[in-house]
Protein backbone atom coordinates (compact mmCIF):
# COMPACT_ATOMS: atom_id res chain seq x y z
CA UNK A 1 0.00 0.00 0.00
CA UNK A 2 1.09 3.58 -0.57
CA UNK A 3 -0.21 6.93 0.61
CA UNK A 4 0.61 10.37 -0.78
CA UNK A 5 0.40 13.42 1.47
CA UNK A 6 1.88 16.85 2.05
CA UNK A 7 3.51 15.96 5.36
CA UNK A 8 4.51 12.78 7.15
CA UNK A 9 5.33 13.02 10.86
CA UNK A 10 7.24 10.16 12.46
CA UNK A 11 6.43 10.12 16.17
CA UNK A 12 3.37 11.35 18.07
CA UNK A 13 4.77 12.96 21.21
CA UNK A 14 4.28 16.62 22.14
CA UNK A 15 6.35 17.51 19.08
CA UNK A 16 4.88 15.05 16.59
CA UNK A 17 1.17 15.30 17.26
CA UNK A 18 1.29 19.10 17.65
CA UNK A 19 3.13 19.44 14.30
CA UNK A 20 0.64 17.12 12.62
CA UNK A 21 -2.41 18.96 13.93
CA UNK A 22 -1.08 22.45 13.20
CA UNK A 23 -0.13 21.46 9.64
CA UNK A 24 -3.60 20.00 9.15
CA UNK A 25 -5.16 23.20 10.49
CA UNK A 26 -3.20 25.02 7.79
CA UNK A 27 -4.77 22.88 5.10
CA UNK A 28 -2.08 20.25 4.54
CA UNK A 29 -2.78 16.54 4.19
CA UNK A 30 -0.92 14.83 7.03
CA UNK A 31 0.03 11.31 8.07
CA UNK A 32 1.33 10.63 11.57
CA UNK A 33 3.27 7.39 12.15
CA UNK A 34 3.60 6.03 15.69
CA UNK A 35 5.04 2.66 16.76
CA UNK A 36 3.72 2.74 20.34
CA UNK A 37 1.01 4.73 22.14
CA UNK A 38 -0.10 8.12 20.86
CA UNK A 39 1.33 10.95 22.95
CA UNK A 40 4.88 9.61 23.05
CA UNK A 41 7.08 9.41 26.13
CA UNK A 42 5.69 12.57 27.77
CA UNK A 43 2.07 11.47 27.90
CA UNK A 44 2.72 7.78 28.50
CA UNK A 45 6.02 7.46 30.37
CA UNK A 46 7.16 10.92 31.43
CA UNK A 47 5.51 14.24 32.20
CA UNK A 48 1.94 13.12 32.82
CA UNK A 49 2.21 9.83 34.74
CA UNK A 50 4.97 11.15 37.01
CA UNK A 51 2.83 14.16 37.93
CA UNK A 52 -0.04 11.81 38.77
CA UNK A 53 2.26 9.87 41.10
CA UNK A 54 3.54 13.06 42.70
CA UNK A 55 -0.02 14.25 43.27
CA UNK A 56 -0.80 11.03 45.12
CA UNK A 57 2.30 11.59 47.24
CA UNK A 58 1.21 15.16 47.97
CA UNK A 59 -2.25 14.02 49.08
CA UNK A 60 -0.70 11.39 51.33
CA UNK A 61 1.67 13.85 52.97
CA UNK A 62 -1.16 16.35 53.51
CA UNK A 63 -3.29 13.66 55.14
CA UNK A 64 -0.41 12.68 57.41
CA UNK A 65 -0.16 16.34 58.49
CA UNK A 66 -3.92 16.71 58.94
CA UNK A 67 -3.65 17.48 62.66
CA UNK A 68 -1.71 20.67 61.84
CA UNK A 69 -4.88 21.93 60.12
CA UNK A 70 -7.26 20.85 62.88
CA UNK A 71 -8.42 17.80 60.96
CA UNK A 72 -8.70 14.39 62.60
CA UNK A 73 -7.49 11.72 60.18
CA UNK A 74 -6.40 8.45 61.72
CA UNK A 75 -4.84 5.27 60.38
CA UNK A 76 -3.62 6.92 57.20
CA UNK A 77 -2.27 4.42 54.69
CA UNK A 78 -1.92 4.01 50.94
CA UNK A 79 -2.50 1.43 48.22
CA UNK A 80 0.63 1.38 46.05
CA UNK A 81 -1.01 -0.67 43.32
CA UNK A 82 -3.93 1.79 43.14
CA UNK A 83 -1.52 4.76 42.93
CA UNK A 84 0.26 3.17 39.97
CA UNK A 85 -3.06 2.19 38.37
CA UNK A 86 -4.38 5.74 38.63
CA UNK A 87 -1.24 7.09 36.99
CA UNK A 88 -1.46 4.63 34.10
CA UNK A 89 -5.16 5.34 33.67
CA UNK A 90 -4.56 9.07 33.31
CA UNK A 91 -1.93 8.44 30.65
CA UNK A 92 -4.27 6.12 28.76
CA UNK A 93 -7.07 8.69 28.87
CA UNK A 94 -4.87 11.46 27.50
CA UNK A 95 -3.49 9.18 24.79
CA UNK A 96 -7.08 8.56 23.67
CA UNK A 97 -7.52 12.34 23.66
CA UNK A 98 -4.63 12.67 21.20
CA UNK A 99 -6.28 10.06 18.97
CA UNK A 100 -9.48 12.12 19.05
CA UNK A 101 -7.62 15.33 18.15
CA UNK A 102 -5.86 13.67 15.22
CA UNK A 103 -9.16 12.34 13.92
CA UNK A 104 -10.97 15.65 14.38
CA UNK A 105 -8.25 17.43 12.41
CA UNK A 106 -8.27 14.76 9.69
CA UNK A 107 -4.74 13.57 10.38
CA UNK A 108 -4.27 9.98 9.25
CA UNK A 109 -2.72 7.88 12.01
CA UNK A 110 -0.72 4.81 10.99
CA UNK A 111 0.37 2.41 13.72
CA UNK A 112 3.81 1.12 12.84
CA UNK A 113 7.54 1.79 12.70
CA UNK A 114 8.60 4.42 10.20
CA UNK A 115 11.92 4.46 8.36
CA UNK A 116 13.24 7.03 5.91
CA UNK A 117 13.63 5.52 2.46
CA UNK A 118 14.92 8.62 0.70
CA UNK A 119 13.87 12.24 0.32
CA UNK A 120 10.10 12.34 0.39
CA UNK A 121 9.58 8.67 1.24
CA UNK A 122 8.84 6.78 4.47
CA UNK A 123 8.50 3.01 4.73
CA UNK A 124 6.25 1.89 7.57
CA UNK A 125 6.39 -1.60 9.02
CA UNK A 126 2.89 -2.39 10.26
CA UNK A 127 1.36 -5.44 11.91
CA UNK A 128 -0.57 -6.27 8.75
CA UNK A 129 2.16 -5.50 6.25
CA UNK A 130 4.28 -2.60 5.04
CA UNK A 131 3.10 0.77 3.77
CA UNK A 132 4.89 3.44 1.77
CA UNK A 133 4.21 7.11 2.40
CA UNK A 134 5.15 9.67 -0.23
CA UNK A 135 5.35 13.16 1.29
CA UNK A 136 6.72 16.51 0.24
CA UNK A 137 8.00 17.08 3.78
CA UNK A 138 8.89 14.74 6.62
CA UNK A 139 9.26 15.62 10.30
CA UNK A 140 11.22 13.23 12.52
CA UNK A 141 9.94 13.51 16.11
CA UNK A 142 10.89 10.15 17.58
CA UNK A 143 12.01 11.44 20.98
CA UNK A 144 14.58 9.88 23.27
CA UNK A 145 15.04 7.20 25.92
CA UNK A 146 16.98 6.72 29.15
CA UNK A 147 20.74 6.39 28.85
CA UNK A 148 22.75 3.77 30.72
CA UNK A 149 26.36 3.51 31.88
CA UNK A 150 28.94 0.81 31.17
CA UNK A 151 28.87 -1.62 34.05
CA UNK A 152 25.41 -0.45 35.09
CA UNK A 153 23.02 -1.97 32.59
CA UNK A 154 19.28 -1.63 33.11
CA UNK A 155 17.75 -5.10 33.54
CA UNK A 156 14.20 -3.94 34.23
CA UNK A 157 14.14 -5.70 37.60
CA UNK A 158 16.75 -4.61 40.12
CA UNK A 159 18.30 -1.93 37.91
CA UNK A 160 15.53 0.15 36.41
CA UNK A 161 14.85 3.29 34.35
CA UNK A 162 11.85 5.61 34.42
CA UNK A 163 9.49 3.21 32.65
CA UNK A 164 9.95 0.53 35.27
CA UNK A 165 9.80 3.11 38.09
CA UNK A 166 6.30 4.04 36.86
CA UNK A 167 4.98 0.48 36.85
CA UNK A 168 6.49 -1.34 39.83
CA UNK A 169 4.17 -3.92 41.37
CA UNK A 170 5.46 -3.32 44.89
CA UNK A 171 6.97 -0.33 46.66
CA UNK A 172 10.69 -0.85 47.24
CA UNK A 173 11.84 -0.56 50.84
CA UNK A 174 15.03 1.11 49.64
CA UNK A 175 15.97 2.91 46.43
CA UNK A 176 19.18 4.38 45.12
CA UNK A 177 18.70 7.05 42.45
CA UNK A 178 21.61 7.59 40.10
CA UNK A 179 21.42 11.14 38.79
CA UNK A 180 20.02 14.28 40.45
CA UNK A 181 18.43 15.93 37.45
CA UNK A 182 14.68 16.51 37.19
CA UNK A 183 13.75 12.85 36.69
CA UNK A 184 15.94 11.66 39.55
CA UNK A 185 14.80 14.16 42.16
CA UNK A 186 11.13 13.73 41.19
CA UNK A 187 11.21 9.96 41.68
CA UNK A 188 13.23 10.42 44.86
CA UNK A 189 10.52 12.76 46.14
CA UNK A 190 7.68 10.39 45.23
CA UNK A 191 9.14 7.24 46.74
CA UNK A 192 10.31 9.02 49.88
CA UNK A 193 6.75 10.25 50.47
CA UNK A 194 5.68 6.60 50.52
CA UNK A 195 8.30 5.71 53.13
CA UNK A 196 11.04 4.29 50.91
CA UNK A 197 14.60 4.86 52.10
CA UNK A 198 16.11 6.94 49.28
CA UNK A 199 19.72 7.78 48.46
CA UNK A 200 20.64 10.05 45.53
CA UNK A 201 24.03 9.77 43.81
CA UNK A 202 25.13 12.72 41.66
CA UNK A 203 28.47 13.06 39.87
CA UNK A 204 28.42 16.85 39.96
CA UNK A 205 28.81 18.77 43.21
CA UNK A 206 25.14 19.54 43.82
CA UNK A 207 21.57 18.41 43.23
CA UNK A 208 19.76 19.69 40.10
CA UNK A 209 23.08 20.95 38.71
CA UNK A 210 21.43 22.81 35.83
CA UNK A 211 19.65 25.11 38.26
CA UNK A 212 20.97 28.18 40.09
CA UNK A 213 23.37 27.20 42.90
CA UNK A 214 21.12 28.72 45.58
CA UNK A 215 18.21 26.60 44.37
CA UNK A 216 20.38 23.48 44.58
CA UNK A 217 21.41 24.34 48.13
CA UNK A 218 17.79 24.90 49.20
CA UNK A 219 16.68 21.59 47.69
CA UNK A 220 19.48 19.80 49.52
CA UNK A 221 18.27 21.30 52.81
CA UNK A 222 14.70 20.28 52.05
CA UNK A 223 15.68 16.74 51.09
CA UNK A 224 17.83 16.26 54.18
CA UNK A 225 14.86 17.41 56.26
CA UNK A 226 12.75 14.77 54.53
CA UNK A 227 15.32 12.08 55.27
CA UNK A 228 16.57 11.69 51.71
CA UNK A 229 20.25 10.81 51.73
CA UNK A 230 22.55 12.33 49.13
CA UNK A 231 26.00 11.63 47.77
CA UNK A 232 26.92 14.59 45.59
CA UNK A 233 30.30 14.55 43.92
CA UNK A 234 30.17 10.76 43.58
CA UNK A 235 30.03 8.39 40.62
CA UNK A 236 28.59 4.88 40.50
CA UNK A 237 31.11 2.54 38.93
CA UNK A 238 29.41 -0.82 39.30
CA UNK A 239 26.03 -2.35 40.06
CA UNK A 240 25.42 -6.06 40.58
CA UNK A 241 21.82 -7.24 40.78
CA UNK A 242 20.96 -10.18 43.04
CA UNK A 243 17.99 -11.99 44.50
CA UNK A 244 17.82 -9.72 47.53
CA UNK A 245 18.63 -6.37 45.87
CA UNK A 246 21.38 -4.60 44.00
CA UNK A 247 24.92 -3.96 45.22
CA UNK A 248 26.34 -0.64 44.08
CA UNK A 249 29.89 0.67 44.20
CA UNK A 250 30.34 4.45 44.37
CA UNK A 251 33.51 6.51 44.29
CA UNK A 252 34.23 10.18 44.98
CA UNK A 253 34.45 12.04 41.66
CA UNK A 254 37.76 13.56 42.68
CA UNK A 255 39.26 10.22 43.61
CA UNK A 256 39.13 8.20 46.78
CA UNK A 257 38.25 4.83 48.22
CA UNK A 258 35.24 2.99 46.73
CA UNK A 259 32.17 2.72 48.97
CA UNK A 260 29.46 0.04 48.89
CA UNK A 261 25.72 0.70 48.82
CA UNK A 262 22.85 -1.78 48.87
CA UNK A 263 19.21 -1.24 47.91
CA UNK A 264 16.14 -3.05 46.65
CA UNK A 265 16.26 -1.08 43.40
CA UNK A 266 18.66 1.18 41.52
CA UNK A 267 16.97 3.82 39.36
CA UNK A 268 19.24 5.07 36.56
CA UNK A 269 18.38 8.64 35.55
CA UNK A 270 21.60 10.04 34.09
CA UNK A 271 20.23 11.57 30.92
CA UNK A 272 18.83 10.52 27.58
CA UNK A 273 19.90 9.41 24.12
CA UNK A 274 17.94 10.02 20.93
CA UNK A 275 15.77 7.38 19.29
CA UNK A 276 17.80 7.46 16.07
CA UNK A 277 18.26 3.75 15.43
CA UNK A 278 16.60 2.05 12.45
CA UNK A 279 15.27 5.35 11.13
CA UNK A 280 17.38 5.31 7.97
CA UNK A 281 18.94 8.65 8.89
CA UNK A 282 22.45 7.84 7.75
CA UNK A 283 21.18 6.03 4.67
CA UNK A 284 19.69 9.28 3.38
CA UNK A 285 22.68 11.41 4.43
CA UNK A 286 21.59 12.80 7.81
CA UNK A 287 24.34 12.82 10.43
CA UNK A 288 24.03 11.45 13.95
CA UNK A 289 26.15 13.22 16.58
CA UNK A 290 26.56 12.01 20.16
CA UNK A 291 23.44 9.88 19.87
CA UNK A 292 21.20 12.58 18.42
CA UNK A 293 19.94 13.59 14.98
CA UNK A 294 21.77 16.61 13.60
CA UNK A 295 19.66 19.59 12.53
CA UNK A 296 20.43 23.22 11.78
CA UNK A 297 19.20 26.27 13.72
CA UNK A 298 16.03 26.25 11.62
CA UNK A 299 15.46 22.54 12.46
CA UNK A 300 16.14 21.48 8.86
CA UNK A 301 18.41 18.52 8.23
CA UNK A 302 20.98 18.33 5.45
CA UNK A 303 18.37 16.62 3.26
CA UNK A 304 15.79 18.82 1.57
CA UNK A 305 12.31 18.35 3.01
CA UNK A 306 13.36 16.43 6.15
CA UNK A 307 13.12 18.18 9.52
CA UNK A 308 13.85 17.18 13.11
CA UNK A 309 12.15 18.40 16.29
CA UNK A 310 12.13 17.57 19.99
CA UNK A 311 14.37 15.33 22.05
CA UNK A 312 15.71 13.33 19.08
CA UNK A 313 17.72 16.41 18.04
CA UNK A 314 19.60 16.72 21.34
CA UNK A 315 18.30 20.21 22.16
CA UNK A 316 16.47 21.24 25.33
CA UNK A 317 14.66 18.05 26.31
CA UNK A 318 11.33 19.48 27.43
CA UNK A 319 7.87 18.74 26.08
CA UNK A 320 6.96 22.39 25.67
CA UNK A 321 10.12 22.97 23.63
CA UNK A 322 9.16 20.13 21.29
CA UNK A 323 5.68 21.65 20.91
CA UNK A 324 7.11 25.11 20.18
CA UNK A 325 9.44 23.64 17.57
CA UNK A 326 6.50 21.73 16.11
CA UNK A 327 4.50 24.92 15.61
CA UNK A 328 7.45 26.69 14.00
CA UNK A 329 8.19 23.87 11.55
CA UNK A 330 4.54 23.17 10.70
CA UNK A 331 3.84 26.86 10.01
CA UNK A 332 7.01 27.13 7.90
CA UNK A 333 6.13 24.05 5.85
CA UNK A 334 2.62 25.44 5.31
CA UNK A 335 4.10 28.66 3.92
CA UNK A 336 3.18 30.88 6.87
CA UNK A 337 5.51 33.23 8.71
CA UNK A 338 6.65 31.70 11.98
CA UNK A 339 8.85 33.13 14.69
CA UNK A 340 11.81 30.84 15.49
CA UNK A 341 11.84 29.32 18.96
CA UNK A 342 13.54 31.61 21.47
CA UNK A 343 15.46 29.09 23.54
CA UNK A 344 16.55 31.81 25.96
CA UNK A 345 13.00 32.17 27.24
CA UNK A 346 12.20 28.50 27.85
CA UNK A 347 10.94 27.83 31.39
CA UNK A 348 12.13 24.74 33.23
CA UNK A 349 10.04 23.01 35.91
CA UNK A 350 10.85 20.21 38.34
CA UNK A 351 7.87 18.78 40.21
CA UNK A 352 9.58 17.44 43.31
CA UNK A 353 8.64 18.68 46.78
CA UNK A 354 9.42 21.53 47.06
CA UNK A 355 8.85 22.44 43.41
CA UNK A 356 11.51 24.17 41.32
CA UNK A 357 11.06 26.48 38.34
CA UNK A 358 13.39 28.77 36.42
CA UNK A 359 13.87 30.77 33.25
CA UNK A 360 16.94 32.50 31.85
CA UNK A 361 20.48 32.66 33.21
CA UNK A 362 21.59 31.58 36.66
CA UNK A 363 23.50 34.15 38.68
CA UNK A 364 26.74 32.26 38.02
CA UNK A 365 26.08 32.24 34.26
CA UNK A 366 25.19 35.93 34.20
CA UNK A 367 28.40 36.89 36.00
CA UNK A 368 30.43 34.57 33.78
CA UNK A 369 28.98 36.36 30.74
CA UNK A 370 30.09 39.69 32.22
CA UNK A 371 26.57 41.08 32.64
CA UNK A 372 26.22 43.80 35.27
CA UNK A 373 23.27 42.64 37.36
CA UNK A 374 21.06 43.40 40.32
CA UNK A 375 19.87 40.40 42.33
CA UNK A 376 16.80 40.28 44.55
CA UNK A 377 15.43 37.50 46.74
CA UNK A 378 12.34 36.98 48.82
CA UNK A 379 11.37 33.97 50.95
CA UNK A 380 7.86 32.56 50.67
CA UNK A 381 7.82 32.00 54.45
CA UNK A 382 6.62 35.47 55.58
CA UNK A 383 3.67 35.44 53.17
CA UNK A 384 0.22 34.97 54.69
CA UNK A 385 -0.71 32.50 51.95
CA UNK A 386 2.30 30.30 52.75
CA UNK A 387 1.47 30.24 56.45
CA UNK A 388 -2.20 29.55 55.82
CA UNK A 389 -1.38 26.76 53.37
CA UNK A 390 1.28 25.24 55.63
CA UNK A 391 3.64 24.96 52.68
CA UNK A 392 7.41 24.47 52.58
CA UNK A 393 8.66 28.06 52.25
CA UNK A 394 11.54 28.26 49.76
CA UNK A 395 12.21 31.55 47.97
CA UNK A 396 12.03 33.56 44.75
CA UNK A 397 15.14 35.02 43.14
CA UNK A 398 15.29 37.58 40.34
CA UNK A 399 18.31 38.67 38.32
CA UNK A 400 17.96 41.98 36.45
CA UNK A 401 20.27 43.86 34.10
CA UNK A 402 21.72 46.81 35.96
CA UNK A 403 21.49 49.18 32.99
CA UNK A 404 17.87 48.77 31.87
CA UNK A 405 16.17 46.42 34.35
CA UNK A 406 15.60 43.68 31.76
CA UNK A 407 15.13 40.24 33.25
CA UNK A 408 18.23 38.05 33.03
CA UNK A 409 16.88 35.12 35.02
CA UNK A 410 14.32 34.02 37.58
CA UNK A 411 14.73 31.08 39.96
CA UNK A 412 12.01 29.78 42.25
CA UNK A 413 11.75 26.98 44.79
CA UNK A 414 8.67 26.52 46.92
CA UNK A 415 4.88 26.31 46.67
CA UNK A 416 3.20 26.40 43.24
CA UNK A 417 6.33 27.73 41.54
CA UNK A 418 5.76 25.63 38.41
CA UNK A 419 2.67 27.80 37.91
CA UNK A 420 4.24 31.06 39.08
CA UNK A 421 7.09 30.80 36.54
CA UNK A 422 4.71 31.92 33.79
CA UNK A 423 4.96 35.55 34.94
CA UNK A 424 8.79 35.74 34.81
CA UNK A 425 8.73 33.84 31.50
CA UNK A 426 6.46 36.51 30.04
CA UNK A 427 8.81 39.17 31.40
CA UNK A 428 11.80 37.40 29.84
CA UNK A 429 10.16 37.18 26.41
CA UNK A 430 8.72 40.72 26.33
CA UNK A 431 9.65 44.21 27.47
CA UNK A 432 8.44 43.71 31.04
CA UNK A 433 11.36 44.93 33.14
CA UNK A 434 11.93 45.29 36.88
CA UNK A 435 10.05 48.59 37.07
CA UNK A 436 7.05 47.13 35.24
CA UNK A 437 6.86 44.12 37.52
CA UNK A 438 7.34 46.18 40.67
CA UNK A 439 4.50 48.48 39.63
CA UNK A 440 2.17 45.58 38.84
CA UNK A 441 -0.34 45.06 41.66
CA UNK A 442 -0.28 41.45 42.86
CA UNK A 443 -3.33 40.06 44.64
CA UNK A 444 -3.16 39.45 48.38
CA UNK A 445 -2.83 36.90 49.84
CA UNK A 446 -1.09 34.87 47.12
CA UNK A 447 2.19 33.08 46.57
CA UNK A 448 2.75 35.45 43.65
CA UNK A 449 3.42 38.29 46.08
CA UNK A 450 6.89 36.78 46.54
CA UNK A 451 7.68 37.64 42.92
CA UNK A 452 6.90 41.30 43.39
CA UNK A 453 8.83 41.37 46.66
CA UNK A 454 11.87 39.69 45.07
CA UNK A 455 11.81 42.24 42.26
CA UNK A 456 11.64 45.04 44.79
CA UNK A 457 14.44 43.55 46.89
CA UNK A 458 16.90 43.96 44.00
CA UNK A 459 16.32 47.73 44.29
CA UNK A 460 16.14 47.92 48.08
CA UNK A 461 12.35 48.38 48.08
CA UNK A 462 11.01 45.16 49.61
CA UNK A 463 8.67 45.76 52.55
CA UNK A 464 8.02 42.37 54.13
CA UNK A 465 11.57 41.21 54.80
CATH number for the domain spanning 369: value is 3.30.390.30
Average pLDDT over residues 38-46: 92
Q: Which residues contact 85 (CB under 8 A, 6 or more apart)?
A: none
Confirm whether 201 is domain-assigned: yes
Could you read off the pLDDT of 341-359 as tens digits, one per residue? 999 999 999 999 999 999 9
Domain boundary among 322, 343, 364: 343
Whether residues 264 and 282 fall in one domain: no
Confirm whether 465 is domain-assigned: no
What pLDDT score does 465 carry? 53
Angle between helices 16-25 and 319-333 (to 10 degrees): 30
Confirm whether 421 is domain-assigned: yes
Whether residues 236 and 369 fall in one domain: no
Provide the β-strand partners of residue 172.
none
In angstroms, rounded to a whole number, what is the distance separating the alpha carbons of residues 448 and 25? 36
Query: The pTM is what?
Result: 0.95
Whether residues 244 and 291 fall in one domain: no
Q: What is the CA radius of gyration of the chain?
A: 24
Confirm whether 349 is domain-assigned: no
In angstroms, rounded to a whole number, what is the distance separating the alpha carbons of residues 27 and 406? 39
Whether residues 321 and 425 fall in one domain: no
| Residues catalogued as catalytic | 444
What pLDDT score does 234 carry? 96
What pLDDT score does 464 carry? 67
Instruction: Judge whether residue 150 has pLDDT over 90.
Output: no
Range of the domain at 216: 159-270
The domain that contains 22 carries what CATH number? 3.50.50.60
Whether residues 121 and 17 fall in one domain: yes
Whether residues 66 and 136 fall in one domain: yes
Whether residues 336 and 374 fall in one domain: no
Longest dimension (CA), the chain: 70
Instruction: Indicate the number of domains in the chain.
Output: 3
Amino acid sequence: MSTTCDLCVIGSGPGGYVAAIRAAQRGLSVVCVERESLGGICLNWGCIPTKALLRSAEVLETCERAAEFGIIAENISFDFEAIIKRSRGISARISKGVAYLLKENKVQHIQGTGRLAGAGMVKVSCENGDETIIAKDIIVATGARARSLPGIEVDGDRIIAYREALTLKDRPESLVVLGAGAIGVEFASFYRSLGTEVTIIEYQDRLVPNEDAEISAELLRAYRKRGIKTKVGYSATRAIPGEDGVSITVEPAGGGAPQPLKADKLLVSIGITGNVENLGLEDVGIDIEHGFMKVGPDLRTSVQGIWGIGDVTGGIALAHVASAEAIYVAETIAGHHAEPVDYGTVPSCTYCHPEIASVGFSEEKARHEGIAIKVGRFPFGPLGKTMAAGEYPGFAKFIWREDNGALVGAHLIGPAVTELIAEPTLAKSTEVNAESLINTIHAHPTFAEALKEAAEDAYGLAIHI
